Structure 1
């Protein structure tokens, strides 16, 4: 079996909100937005887990995945869970965030951080982003801090780490959302090593995947114990069926962990492959009216999904999708959505600007120069 995944034969559902007629959107895209890179070891691990019958939330691959994360990121404790969103919810709960508390959240991100805050009963307070990195604006966060501020979720947006040195000056408990930042680094350490806790996602569109899945990492042993307790039904690890808190089933299955463990062994390969895809796109789109996402000096970002901005974003997306390329507009700013707009106490103009001009292009770890040429041909 090749280490490079083959395109799936099934019809891929598309988003009709991007201006693509239904009859076109329902056909299979020649170039999907993302594709997992799976190989022989992933298949062998899954077969092994099935042969032993350990396919639920316990098993040797779960613990192996956790140990490999601890070693890779350099944190003392890792707990794998069912998704990145679950990881955020459990991390916040373990920190004691709840009703009456406020949590600062960047206005430009996938909705999961804000949704997780609401899920634990707290109030998300939306902060604008800065133009230099598209990550949370430190001065906006400072202005929005109140006596009720219990935590801040710092999203390493599209693989670019936040300014953790300046954020530390705020003296607010940080949960680093490194869901999109596998392999990113600052001069102080890898993405996932900052804050009192950090989280990863291993959704299928991430560089390292377990299909669905996430993890909470920390160096605080007491916090790690709370995370594990909450993720395992609140059941004491020493007394089966003795529940000490109201927990949930947030566990990752051993089947998912079997895939994730194999992917962890290929971390360098898979992260480097996406960086190479970004390099190819940069070279191909240079001078054609597209601007790559900004990067701060002294930071090594990773490439989750390759992102550019264009004043003609919507027309580019429509043209690409009509020709079988699954280009997509990025998320709208949370501050522009009716559900979350009430949580924006100050304007978020930078988040709105980026959300209206940025798009993603098909990205995976074994994207070839020929693939990149074919994708970019339909954009101009």
Structure 2
């Protein structure tokens, strides 16, 4: 969110204006339906599903179940899979704490894996190595910083192993594809590109799984009876109204973010060897713009940028392994060793830069100029990387 002490903010939400919401709020006034899957929530379900990219070989249409938050989406998706207590869930150690917390609240056991040094994500090859070394019941890869995960690769992983997959694609709606067999949890928090204030989606092509998520989000009710304990995680009509308005403008929001992403990539390119950006993703969209520093610590660069009125954030850092709540979690690195070398190396070096639709090209130029000067001042000409 914004901090008025900084001239260039790291995040500025881009949500619909009040005049775009007025007709939808008037519909709520007319129906007096405010929650419990009202007409706007039902309409948003259809609109959200239609935004999901097509996936090769996926014959069934996606179901988009709107819920109260991205964290709720993760927990509901896990509960809907019906894993037994104590089942192990493989997830990368570079990610938001909500996924590990969701697993623990469901009575499951998180297992932290390492990530690829280029994409900063858990790959199917790494997951295959892990499931050979441990009794993994479910895999939860993360679309880190909005980096779209390869849905077809994860479909193949499921078909090869029979192990279900839930993607934590919090910031990657609506560009993250949903495969034939893979369930995806999205966040619609205000800071996400498709922000509605607060909300989430569980998206799957499995009819039975989608219906179970709906039931669990409504206390577990089925035909007036609770068949299994659930939660109260339904999306309100007010949040659905914002979602419907946001859907009509999301193409413009994404185009502006892409303009900013490309501007950063072009201006940081001359600093190759000193900084790098996350690689890959189809499409190459990002919900957050994070750089890796190769010549200095991220905290030092953050301090330098802060002195120039430029706000930064260290999203996912430190990694989950450093959080007291998760220090008991098993590490399952390369060759089944209890060490995560890529995560450990990335942790002190990642820094989130200002990235939002309000940024001008001049803002990006100023941020990158400060980065370049700071690197030059930290490394004399004879000692540069």
Q: The TM-score by the shorter chain falls in which range? A: 0.7 to 0.9
The worse-fitting range, judged by mean Cα deviation, of 173-182 and 54-63 is: 54-63
After superposition, the C-alpha distances for 1:38-59 in whole angstroms (9 at most, x for unaligned) are 3446432553255334333432
Structure 1 distance, partners of 2:180, 2:350, is 27
How many residue pairs align between the two structures?
347
Structure 2 distance, partners of 1:28, 1:60, is 42
CA contact (8 A) 2:180 2:205 kept: no
Structure 2 distance, partners of 1:43, 1:95, is 36
The worse-fitting range, judged by mean Cα deviation, of 339-348 and 246-255 is: 339-348
Secondary structure in 1 matching 2:301: helix
CA contact (8 A) 2:51 2:174 kept: no
Q: Which residue of 1 aligns with 2:149?
A: 162
Secondary structure in 1 matching 2:203: strand
| Match for residue 356 of structure 2 among 343, 364, 380 | 364
CA contact (8 A) 2:181 2:206 kept: no
The aligned runs of 1:287-366 (5 Å cut-off) are: 287-288=270-271, 289-295=274-280, 299-310=282-293, 311-312=295-296, 313-331=298-316, 332-343=318-329, 344-345=331-332, 346-366=338-358
CA RMSD of aligned residues (A): 2.3
Secondary structure in 2 matching 1:154: coil
Secondary structure in 1 matching 2:219: coil
After superposition, the C-alpha distances for 1:240-278 in whole angstroms (9 at most, x for unaligned) are xx2222111011111111111111122222122211110
Q: Which residue of 2 aligns with 1:23?
A: none
Structure 2 distance, partners of 1:163, 1:216, is 18
1:229 aligns with 2:215: yes
Flag the structure with higher helix content.
Answer: 2
Deviation for aligned residue 1:100: 2.2
Q: Using a 3 Å threshold, how does the CA distance of structure 1 residues 324 and 245 change in structure 2: closer, same or farther?
A: same
Q: TM-score, normalised by structure 1?
A: 0.84
Q: Using a 3 Å threshold, how does the CA distance of structure 1 residues 255 and 28 change in structure 2: closer, same or farther?
A: farther
Q: Using a 3 Å threshold, how does the CA distance of structure 1 residues 353 and 42 change in structure 2: closer, same or farther?
A: farther
CA contact (8 A) 1:133 1:162 kept: no
Unaligned runs of 5+ in 1: 1-7, 13-26, 185-189
| Match for residue 62 of structure 1 among 34, 38, 41 | 41
After superposition, the C-alpha distances for 1:61-107 in whole angstroms (9 at most, x for unaligned) are 21111101111115431110011111010011001024121111011
After superposition, the C-alpha distances for 1:163-196 in whole angstroms (9 at most, x for unaligned) are 4444433521011222122344xxxxx4344643
Q: Which residue of 2 aligns with 1:175?
A: 166
The aligned runs of 1:137-148 (5 Å cut-off) are: 137-145=123-131, 148=135
The aligned runs of 1:1-380 (5 Å cut-off) are: 12=3, 27-40=4-17, 42-45=20-23, 47-48=25-26, 51-52=29-30, 53-73=32-52, 75-145=61-131, 148-167=135-154, 168-169=156-157, 170-171=160-161, 172-184=163-175, 190-193=176-179, 195-236=181-222, 238-239=223-224, 242-288=225-271, 289-295=274-280, 299-310=282-293, 311-312=295-296, 313-331=298-316, 332-343=318-329, 344-345=331-332, 346-379=338-371, 380=373
Structure 1 distance, partners of 2:284, 2:26, is 35
Structure 1 distance, partners of 2:362, 2:118, is 31
CA contact (8 A) 2:15 2:195 kept: no
Q: Which runs of 4+ in 1 moved over 6 A?
A: none
Q: TM-score, normalised by structure 2?
A: 0.83
CA contact (8 A) 1:178 1:192 kept: no
Unaligned runs of 5+ in 2: 55-60, 333-337, 374-385
Structure 1 distance, partners of 2:339, 2:151, is 23
Structure 1 distance, partners of 2:25, 2:324, is 46
CA contact (8 A) 1:42 1:263 kept: no
Q: Using a 3 Å threshold, how does the CA distance of structure 1 residues 260 and 291 change in structure 2: closer, same or farther?
A: same
The worse-fitting range, judged by mean Cα deviation, of 40-49 and 320-329 is: 40-49
Q: Using a 3 Å threshold, how does the CA distance of structure 1 residues 45 and 233 change in structure 2: closer, same or farther?
A: farther
Secondary structure in 1 matching 2:325: coil
After superposition, the C-alpha distances for 1:11-41 in whole angstroms (9 at most, x for unaligned) are 84xxxxxxxxxxxxxx533222211223446
Structure 1 distance, partners of 2:21, 2:68, is 20
